[in-house]
Amino acid sequence: MKKALLLIDFVNDNVSKDGKMAGKGYPDYCEKYNVLNNAEKLLTAFRNKGNLVVHVRVGFSPDYREQPLNSPLFGAANKFGAFKIGAFGDEFYDALTPIENEPQYYKHRVSAFYGTPVELLLRNQKIEELYICGVATDLAVQAATRDAHDRDFSVIVVEDCCGAANDDDHKNSLIPLAKIAKISTLADVLTNI
Protein backbone atom coordinates (compact mmCIF):
# COMPACT_ATOMS: atom_id res chain seq x y z
CA MET A 1 0.00 0.00 0.00
CA LYS A 2 1.29 3.48 -0.86
CA LYS A 3 1.69 5.60 2.24
CA ALA A 4 1.70 9.32 2.99
CA LEU A 5 2.21 11.43 6.08
CA LEU A 6 -0.05 14.40 6.76
CA LEU A 7 1.32 16.91 9.30
CA ILE A 8 -1.23 19.44 10.50
CA ASP A 9 -0.82 22.84 12.17
CA PHE A 10 2.70 22.47 13.51
CA VAL A 11 3.01 26.26 13.53
CA ASN A 12 4.51 28.58 16.12
CA ASP A 13 1.15 29.96 17.25
CA ASN A 14 0.27 26.43 18.37
CA VAL A 15 3.54 24.95 19.59
CA SER A 16 5.80 27.83 20.65
CA LYS A 17 5.66 29.36 24.11
CA ASP A 18 5.68 32.70 22.24
CA GLY A 19 2.71 31.66 20.08
CA LYS A 20 -0.73 33.23 20.26
CA MET A 21 -2.28 29.95 21.46
CA ALA A 22 0.34 29.22 24.14
CA GLY A 23 -2.11 30.09 26.90
CA LYS A 24 -4.33 27.22 25.81
CA GLY A 25 -1.66 24.72 26.87
CA TYR A 26 -0.46 23.31 23.54
CA PRO A 27 3.26 24.06 23.99
CA ASP A 28 3.25 22.63 27.52
CA TYR A 29 1.52 19.44 26.35
CA CYS A 30 3.93 19.08 23.43
CA GLU A 31 6.90 19.51 25.73
CA LYS A 32 5.55 17.15 28.40
CA TYR A 33 4.97 14.33 25.91
CA ASN A 34 7.86 15.02 23.52
CA VAL A 35 5.38 15.54 20.67
CA LEU A 36 7.59 17.74 18.51
CA ASN A 37 10.61 15.45 18.74
CA ASN A 38 8.40 12.45 18.03
CA ALA A 39 6.88 14.18 15.01
CA GLU A 40 10.37 15.04 13.76
CA LYS A 41 11.40 11.36 13.99
CA LEU A 42 8.24 10.34 12.13
CA LEU A 43 8.85 12.95 9.44
CA THR A 44 12.47 11.85 9.02
CA ALA A 45 11.40 8.22 8.66
CA PHE A 46 8.85 9.05 5.97
CA ARG A 47 11.38 11.17 4.10
CA ASN A 48 14.03 8.44 4.30
CA LYS A 49 11.59 5.89 2.84
CA GLY A 50 10.67 8.25 0.01
CA ASN A 51 7.02 8.40 1.06
CA LEU A 52 4.88 11.43 0.31
CA VAL A 53 4.87 14.06 3.06
CA VAL A 54 2.18 16.76 3.08
CA HIS A 55 2.15 19.82 5.36
CA VAL A 56 -1.07 21.72 6.07
CA ARG A 57 -1.41 24.74 8.32
CA VAL A 58 -4.19 27.10 9.23
CA GLY A 59 -3.57 30.62 8.02
CA PHE A 60 -5.40 33.82 7.23
CA SER A 61 -4.42 36.72 4.99
CA PRO A 62 -3.21 39.82 6.85
CA ASP A 63 -6.70 41.32 6.45
CA TYR A 64 -8.29 38.04 7.66
CA ARG A 65 -10.66 37.89 4.68
CA GLU A 66 -10.95 34.06 4.98
CA GLN A 67 -11.68 34.12 8.71
CA PRO A 68 -15.01 32.53 9.69
CA LEU A 69 -16.36 35.26 11.94
CA ASN A 70 -19.12 33.06 13.38
CA SER A 71 -16.69 30.34 14.44
CA PRO A 72 -16.12 29.90 18.18
CA LEU A 73 -12.64 28.62 17.30
CA PHE A 74 -11.43 31.13 14.71
CA GLY A 75 -13.88 34.02 15.19
CA ALA A 76 -11.48 36.13 17.26
CA ALA A 77 -8.26 35.23 15.43
CA ASN A 78 -7.97 38.72 13.95
CA LYS A 79 -8.27 40.37 17.38
CA PHE A 80 -5.28 38.40 18.61
CA GLY A 81 -3.32 38.38 15.36
CA ALA A 82 -3.36 34.58 15.40
CA PHE A 83 -2.49 32.43 12.38
CA LYS A 84 -1.66 35.47 10.27
CA ILE A 85 0.11 34.49 7.06
CA GLY A 86 3.60 35.98 6.99
CA ALA A 87 3.86 36.41 10.76
CA PHE A 88 6.06 34.42 13.17
CA GLY A 89 3.05 32.57 14.54
CA ASP A 90 2.13 31.05 11.21
CA GLU A 91 5.62 29.81 10.39
CA PHE A 92 6.23 26.09 10.69
CA TYR A 93 8.01 24.85 13.80
CA ASP A 94 11.67 24.74 12.71
CA ALA A 95 12.28 20.99 12.86
CA LEU A 96 9.04 20.29 10.98
CA THR A 97 9.50 22.80 8.18
CA PRO A 98 8.83 21.42 4.70
CA ILE A 99 11.79 20.75 2.46
CA GLU A 100 11.94 21.27 -1.28
CA ASN A 101 9.21 19.45 -3.20
CA GLU A 102 7.11 18.66 -0.11
CA PRO A 103 3.61 19.97 -0.72
CA GLN A 104 2.37 22.56 1.75
CA TYR A 105 -1.06 24.10 1.86
CA TYR A 106 -2.97 26.67 3.83
CA LYS A 107 -6.38 25.85 5.22
CA HIS A 108 -8.91 28.33 6.52
CA ARG A 109 -11.04 25.91 8.50
CA VAL A 110 -10.38 23.05 10.92
CA SER A 111 -10.00 20.14 8.49
CA ALA A 112 -6.95 19.75 6.26
CA PHE A 113 -9.31 18.58 3.51
CA TYR A 114 -11.72 21.52 3.51
CA GLY A 115 -10.93 23.96 0.71
CA THR A 116 -7.50 22.46 -0.02
CA PRO A 117 -6.13 20.20 -2.79
CA VAL A 118 -5.05 17.53 -0.28
CA GLU A 119 -7.48 14.88 -1.51
CA LEU A 120 -6.59 15.52 -5.16
CA LEU A 121 -2.89 15.16 -4.35
CA LEU A 122 -3.39 11.92 -2.42
CA ARG A 123 -5.54 10.45 -5.21
CA ASN A 124 -3.08 11.47 -7.93
CA GLN A 125 -0.25 9.86 -5.97
CA LYS A 126 -2.35 6.67 -5.48
CA ILE A 127 -2.09 6.93 -1.69
CA GLU A 128 -4.10 4.32 0.20
CA GLU A 129 -2.70 4.57 3.71
CA LEU A 130 -2.62 7.98 5.38
CA TYR A 131 -0.70 8.66 8.59
CA ILE A 132 -1.85 11.76 10.46
CA CYS A 133 -0.27 13.83 13.22
CA GLY A 134 -0.62 17.40 14.36
CA VAL A 135 -1.98 19.92 16.82
CA ALA A 136 -4.60 19.67 18.14
CA THR A 137 -5.72 16.08 18.48
CA ASP A 138 -9.30 17.06 19.30
CA LEU A 139 -9.60 19.63 16.52
CA ALA A 140 -7.55 19.48 13.31
CA VAL A 141 -6.37 15.89 13.73
CA GLN A 142 -9.87 14.67 14.50
CA ALA A 143 -11.42 16.61 11.61
CA ALA A 144 -8.84 15.39 9.08
CA THR A 145 -9.12 11.81 10.31
CA ARG A 146 -12.88 11.82 9.87
CA ASP A 147 -12.63 13.42 6.44
CA ALA A 148 -9.93 10.97 5.32
CA HIS A 149 -11.99 8.03 6.55
CA ASP A 150 -15.04 9.26 4.67
CA ARG A 151 -12.91 9.54 1.54
CA ASP A 152 -12.01 5.85 1.88
CA PHE A 153 -8.40 6.19 2.95
CA SER A 154 -6.98 3.78 5.50
CA VAL A 155 -6.09 6.16 8.34
CA ILE A 156 -3.48 5.80 11.07
CA VAL A 157 -3.34 8.45 13.79
CA VAL A 158 0.13 8.54 15.35
CA GLU A 159 -1.04 9.54 18.80
CA ASP A 160 2.29 10.39 20.41
CA CYS A 161 2.99 12.74 17.50
CA CYS A 162 -0.19 14.70 18.25
CA GLY A 163 -0.62 17.52 20.73
CA ALA A 164 -3.58 18.94 22.59
CA ALA A 165 -4.34 21.56 25.21
CA ASN A 166 -4.43 18.91 27.94
CA ASP A 167 -4.49 15.17 28.63
CA ASP A 168 -8.29 14.91 28.65
CA ASP A 169 -8.72 16.60 25.28
CA HIS A 170 -6.14 14.26 23.74
CA LYS A 171 -7.40 11.02 25.28
CA ASN A 172 -11.09 11.79 24.82
CA SER A 173 -10.52 12.57 21.16
CA LEU A 174 -8.81 9.25 20.49
CA ILE A 175 -11.75 7.19 21.79
CA PRO A 176 -14.14 7.96 18.90
CA LEU A 177 -11.28 8.10 16.39
CA ALA A 178 -10.41 4.49 17.21
CA LYS A 179 -13.73 3.53 15.62
CA ILE A 180 -12.69 4.90 12.22
CA ALA A 181 -8.89 4.82 12.28
CA LYS A 182 -6.03 2.83 13.68
CA ILE A 183 -4.47 4.57 16.68
CA SER A 184 -0.75 3.89 16.68
CA THR A 185 2.48 5.07 18.27
CA LEU A 186 5.71 6.31 16.78
CA ALA A 187 7.50 3.10 17.78
CA ASP A 188 4.90 0.93 16.04
CA VAL A 189 4.88 3.06 12.91
CA LEU A 190 8.67 3.06 12.62
CA THR A 191 8.64 -0.73 12.45
CA ASN A 192 5.92 -0.80 9.77
CA ILE A 193 6.87 1.82 7.24
Gap between the Cα atoms of 3 and 172, Å rounded: 27
Contact present, 157 and 184 (Cβ < 8 Å): yes
> What are the pLDDT digits (tens) for 74-132?
988 999 999 999 999 999 999 999 999 999 999 999 999 999 999 999 999 999 999 99
CATH number at residue 50: 3.40.50.850
Helices (H), the chain: 12-15, 26-32, 35-49, 77-80, 118-124, 142-150, 167-177, 186-192
Residue 180 structural domain: 3-192
- pLDDT tier for residue 59 given thresholds of 50, 70 and 90: very high
Number of domains in the chain: 1
Q: Calculate the alpha carbon distances from 94 to 43, 57, 129 in Å.
A: 13, 14, 26
Cβ partners under 8 Å of residue 51, min gap 6: 2, 3, 4, 5, 193
> Using an 8 Å Cβ cutoff, are 139 and 163 in contact?
no
Residue 130 DSSP label: E
Is the predicted pLDDT of residue 51 greater than 90, yes or no? yes
pLDDT at position 1 is 85
Give, as one character, the DSSP assignment of residue 178: T
pTM for the complete prediction?
0.97
Largest CA distance in the chain: 45
Q: Is the peptide bond before 87 cis (omega within 30 degrees of 0)?
A: no
Region 27-34: what's the mean pLDDT? 98
- What's the rounded Cα separation, in Å, for the pair 150 and 153? 8
